[in-house]
C-alpha cells in the first residue's frame, strides 16, 4: 500500500509532533523547574529542550513554513549550546530546500518518518 503525503499533510503531522514536544517541555518546566525545560519557536518550527539527556531534545518542524537562512539555523545551534546539549533536529523530507542545503554538512543519525505506512 503506497501513501502519498503532500506538503500540507506533512506540515500538519510535523506541527502535531512539535506541539507534543512543546507541551511536554512546558509540563516538565512546571513539574521540575530545575530541569531548565523550555521550547522556543525557530525557523518555522520549534526547538525543544526537556532537560539534560532527554531524548526529546531536538528541533521539530523546521523549514516547513518557508526558507530558512543561516542565522536562523545558528539560533537553533545556540539554543542547544546554551543548555549544554548537542543540536539535533528532525528534518522532514518536504522541508524547504534551503534547510536541506544548510544542514548538508551535518552528521546524519538516521531517518524517522511519521508519513510512511506499513511495508
Task: Sketch the domain layout of the chain as residue ranges.
Answer: 7-102
**How would residue 8 be classed by pLDDT, with cut points 50, 70 and 90?**
confident
Any idea which residue has 539560533 for its cell? 75
Average pLDDT, the chain: 87
**CA 84, 70, 24, 91 torsion-angle sign:** negative
59: phi then psi, degrees, rounded to nearest 5: -90, 140
Tens-place pLDDT, residues 16-58? 989 999 999 999 999 999 999 999 999 999 999 999 999 999 9
Q: What is the pLDDT of residue 114?
A: 56
pLDDT at 119: 43
Q: What is the pLDDT of residue 35?
A: 96
Amino acid at each position: 500500500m503506497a501513501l502519498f503525503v503532500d506538503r500540507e499533510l506533512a506540515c500538519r503531522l510535523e506541527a502535531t509532533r512539535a506541539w507534543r514536544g512543546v507541551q511536554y517541555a512546558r509540563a516538565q518546566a512546571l513539574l521540575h523547574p530545575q530541569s531548565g525545560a523550555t521550547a522556543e519557536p525557530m525557523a518555522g518550527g520549534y526547538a525543544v529542550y526537556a532537560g539534560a539527556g532527554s531524548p526529546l531534545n531536538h528541533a521539530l518542524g523546521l523549514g516547513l513554513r518557508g526558507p530558512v537562512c543561516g542565522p536562523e539555523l545558528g539560533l537553533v545551534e545556540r539554543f542547544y549550546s546554551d543548555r549544554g546539549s548537542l543540536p539535533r533536529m528532525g528534518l522532514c523530507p518536504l522541508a524547504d530546500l534551503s534547510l536541506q542545503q544548510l544542514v548538508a554538512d551535518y552528521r546524519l543519525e538516521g531517518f524517522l518518518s511519521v508519513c510512511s505506512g506499513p511495508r
